[in-house]
Structure 1
């Protein structure tokens, strides 16, 4: 009896960093690429419009992710202040 198993993997991508996490632009590009996909067979005018839309989506994601990061830092710094760690709060605010 032959029980052959065939597994087919889709395309995947690996991105690494050294001593830090990925920056906002990396995550914004990743999100944008998942949200907006421009087909290779698209009419050039449609592809151009789609690319402009994709850039707009990217910039919007970057802006709101930056706001989220600032908000998170403010929350962490505030919590450090409440716990009596003003030195750590200062470090967090400077990041």
Structure 2
């Protein structure tokens, strides 16, 4: 049996009242930086997911600092 996978495209997020939150952008950035293969060994996949979560929290932290820094300069 042959199965075909199709790529539907990107999901578009829409926001009002000031745009998308930094959490959205941190996740998008992390998803672009780190991709975890479905065929990776389970132990490696678990470590990779933990690493990805940590990277996302670091990206979010510095995005929030950048926002605060920008606000203080206005």
Secondary structure of the residue aligned to 1:11 is coil
Runs (4+) off by over 4 Å: none
Please report how far the alpha carbon of residue 52 of structure 1 lies from its aligned counterpart in structure 2 after TM superposition: 0.6
Q: Which has the larger radius of gyration?
A: 1
Q: Note the aligned Cα RMSD (angstroms).
A: 1.4
Aligned length: 68
Which residue number corresponds to residue 48 of structure 2? 50
Which residue number corresponds to residue 30 of structure 2? 32
Task: Select 2:67's aligned residue among 53, 66, 69.
Answer: 69
Gaps of 5+ in 1: 1-8, 77-95
Partner Cα separation in structure 2 for residue 10 and residue 35 of structure 1:
21
Please report how far the alpha carbon of residue 18 of structure 1 lies from its aligned counterpart in structure 2 after TM superposition: 2.2
Gaps of 5+ in 2: 1-6
Please report how far the alpha carbon of residue 10 of structure 1 lies from its aligned counterpart in structure 2 after TM superposition: 6.8
